[in-house]
């Protein structure tokens, strides 16, 4: 029994499961790399102000879930609870928006941290792949990102997910709606926390998952009835582009997402096989965020997809990913001379791109062959003194059990031919 365990609400990714997570990350990143998005990496912690200003004081993320701390030097920092604010901060700091090629298209992958009540699909440390398109207001960009996420999920074989779509309006029409919603909400029997939220950001109340609150929200004014003509036209174009691309979506006028910075297009990917934690990813347009964190006006749009949730969605649909074997060839030396010769062959095979492993620790034939079996290798290279005296090694097919001698200088060609 180990003295230490992973902190509550976190997990370790270990083989062979970790290969599945890597494959999911790569599948989500692939369409982005193919669409002009460049990779960005930001620190795991940032100035607290970045999130309290950018994500919003009234959000659960900032008010209840953020890991905030003070350093020995007196700096107030927070572990990043989400990716967008950090990526925008980094882009502004590096003046990427001044290089003349807008939008700046970036993708990222990493760990994020929220102090939540741990449950299946909701952890205090979780992994996301995200994408941001910074500095352009264009419905085609919103549609592009939704289409790329849809493409990523479908490339993994997922089919039982839905795309929920809404528009949150802009600084022209949202204040009018906000007033109407506040008027409605003030007349409800709500707890003190929720009443406070009504005053700070009433849209957050629509996102309350409690049945007792949802019941009272029946008859609440709908944002779509308050959208200005420009927002209506923008949203209609996003919908038409998605339909034209063959991407199905559902209009959801209650969808507000958990962050204060969203404007206009907002969307969520939900999977019905995941129970209460059904969201596997989501995002939207955040035209005012740059100004909130001290930058120029830079209309932008982005999303983040949960790697952990996507793995759960694959399990819910019974999808087994075809993962490449971690080892193709396993070398089994019998004796010191064989150990020296085979280690040289292993190095040669690896340099040629063949996934190869070696029997370490001086095991006998039986123990070494067990290791070869466990490695999942398709072929074993076995050599003893007699083989070396004849200038050969034995190449054994681990599936059929057949083996044949191969000249030492022909091992690479023989292995390549069989693996092909």
Query: Residue 188: which pLDDT band, with cuts at 50, 70 and 90?
Result: confident
State the Cα angle at 63 between 76 and 256, rounded to 5°.
125
Name the residue with higher pLDDT: 63 or 77: 77
> Which residues are CB-neighbours of 176 under 8 A, at least 6 positions away?
226
Q: Is the pLDDT of residue 403 over 90?
A: yes
Q: What is the pLDDT of residue 175?
A: 86
Query: Residue 288: which pLDDT band, with cuts at 50, 70 and 90?
Result: confident
Sheet hosting strand 125-134, strand order edge to edge: 38-39, 104-113, 125-134, 300-306, 279-285, 263-271, 161-167, 250-251
Q: Is the pLDDT of residue 258 over 60?
A: no
Q: Is the pLDDT of residue 104 over 60?
A: yes
Q: What is the pLDDT of residue 2?
A: 64
- The least confident of 114-118, 154-158, 300-304, 317-321 is 114-118
Domains of the chain: 17-173+227-316 (3.30.930.10), 329-419 (3.40.50.800)
| Tens digits of residue pLDDT in 361-382 | 988 999 999 999 999 999 999 9
Q: Is the pLDDT of residue 95 over 60?
A: yes
Q: What is the pLDDT of residue 64?
A: 79
Sheet hosting strand 45-47, strand order edge to edge: 45-47, 76-79, 68-70
Phi and psi for 5 in degrees, rounded to 5? -130, 160
Report d(CA 77, CA 64) in Å as an integer. Answer: 15
How, if at all, do strands 161-167 and 250-251 pair?
parallel
For the record, the structure tokens of 226 come out as 């308050």
Report d(CA 131, CA 153) in Å as an integer. Answer: 15
Question: Collapsing DSSP states into helix, strand and coil, what is residue 406?
Answer: strand
Report d(CA 396, CA 377) in Å as an integer. Answer: 10
Query: Residue 410: which pLDDT band, with cuts at 50, 70 and 90?
Result: very high
Query: Residue 134: which pLDDT band, with cuts at 50, 70 and 90?
Result: very high
């Amino acid at each position: 029994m180990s003295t230490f365990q992973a902190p509550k609400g976190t997990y370790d990714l270990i083989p062979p499961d970790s290969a599945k997570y890597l494959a999911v990350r790569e599948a989500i990143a692939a369409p982005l790399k193919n669409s002009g998005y460049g990779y960005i990496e930001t620190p795991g912690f940032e100035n607290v102000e970045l999130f309290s200003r950018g994500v919003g004081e009234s959000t659960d993320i900032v008010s209840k879930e953020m890991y905030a701390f003070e350093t020995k030097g007196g700096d107030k920092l927070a572990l990043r609870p989400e990716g967008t604010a950090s990526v925008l901060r980094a882009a502004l700091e590096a003046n990427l928006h001044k290089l003349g090629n807008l939008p700046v298209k970036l993708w990222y992958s990493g760990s994020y941290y929220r102090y939540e009540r741990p449950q299946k699909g909701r952890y205090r440390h979780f992994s996301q792949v995200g994408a941001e398109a910074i500095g352009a207001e264009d419905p085609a960009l919103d549609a592009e990102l939704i289409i790329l996420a849809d493409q990523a999920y479908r490339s993994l074989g997922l089919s039982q997910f839905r795309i929920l779509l809404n528009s949150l309006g802009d600084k022209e029409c949202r204040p009018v709606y906000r007033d109407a919603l506040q008027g409605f909400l003030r007349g409800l029997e709500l707890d003190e926390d929720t009443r406070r939220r009504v005053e700070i950001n009433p849209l957050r109340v629509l996102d309350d998952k409690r049945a007792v609150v949802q019941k009272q929200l029946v008859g609440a004014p709908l944002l779509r009835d308050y959208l200005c003509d420009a927002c209506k036209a923008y949203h209609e174009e996003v919908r038409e582009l998605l339909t034209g691309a063959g991407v199905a979506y559902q209009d959801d006028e209650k969808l507000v997402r958990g962050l204060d910075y969203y404007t206009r297009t907002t969307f969520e990917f939900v999977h019905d096989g995941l129970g209460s934690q059904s969201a596997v990813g989501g995002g939207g347009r955040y035209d005012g965020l740059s100004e909130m964190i001290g930058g120029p006006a830079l209309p932008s749009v982005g999303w983040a997809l949960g790697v952990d949730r996507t793995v759960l969605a694959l399990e819910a649909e019974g999808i087994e990913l075809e993962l490449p074997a971690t080892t193709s060839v396993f070398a089994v030396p019998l004796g010191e001379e064989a150990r020296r010769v085979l280690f040289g062959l292993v190095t040669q095979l690896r340099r040629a791109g063949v996934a190869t492993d070696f029997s370490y620790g001086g095991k006998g034939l039986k123990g070494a062959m067990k290791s070869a079996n466990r490695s999942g290798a398709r072929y074993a290279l076995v050599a003893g003194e007699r083989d070396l005296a004849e200038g050969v090694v034995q190449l054994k097919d681990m599936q059929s059990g057949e083996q044949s001698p191969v000249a030492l200088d022909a091992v690479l060609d023989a292995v390549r031919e069989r693996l092909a």
